[in-house]
Amino acid sequence: MNVSTRPGTIEDIPAIFDLVKELAIFERALDQVTNNVDKMTRDYNEKLFDFFVAESETGIVGLSLFYFRYSTWKGKRLYMEDIIVTEEMRGNGIGKILFDATLGAAKKTGCTGMMWQVLDWNTSAVGFYRKYGTNYDNEWINCNLDF
């Protein structure tokens, strides 16, 4: 199996949105997805996010979606929203390829670090990130407002 990683393009958005829905199904939350291809296309054109894709001979099999944020304490940070690998391709090192590409983008663009979230019940992902020396924060409570 030959898998390569490349920066995403606007033409990839329908395929990556399929991956988003696959992740939502995995997380038992498909009913919470209110985004769609048109919104993602608009937001990509407005430079609100960027992404890498992993491709095999069958097409796009993985995604890392990220954007930049700013910390008053640390400065420019890269926030990785999601890494998604199709269920049938998990366990083949694709997540590592995507994570390394995203980590490289953070360093190349002068970020002081990278941030992301992981569900506590996703033990395989927790173990994966632990290999990188990830700091886990048990102090902060995630907050959000939906409109």
Q: Is residue 137 part of a domain?
A: no
Instruction: Tell me which residue has tokens 């997805």.
Output: 33
Active-site amino acid positions? 129
Q: What is the pLDDT of residue 106?
A: 97
Q: Is residue 147 part of a domain?
A: no
Q: Against a cut of 0.85, is the pTM above it?
A: yes
Chain segment 21-58, per-residue pLDDT in tens:
999 998 899 999 999 999 999 999 999 999 999 999 99
**Strand 114-115 versus strand 75-85 pairing type:** parallel
Whether residue 145 is predicted with pLDDT greater than 90 in this model: the reply is no
> Residue 85's domain spans which residues?
4-130
Report whether 102 contacts 80 (CB < 8 A). Answer: yes
The number of distinct structural domains making up the chain is 1
As a whole number of angstroms, the distance between CA 119 and CA 126 comes to: 8
**Strand 4-7 versus strand 59-71 pairing type:** unpaired
CATH of the domain at 26: 3.40.630.30
Closest listed residue to residue 62, CA positions, set 109, 102, 108: 102
Q: Is residue 65 part of a domain?
A: yes
Instruction: Tell me which residue has tokens 């069958």.
Output: 58
Cα 52 vs. chain centroid, distance in angstroms?
A: 9
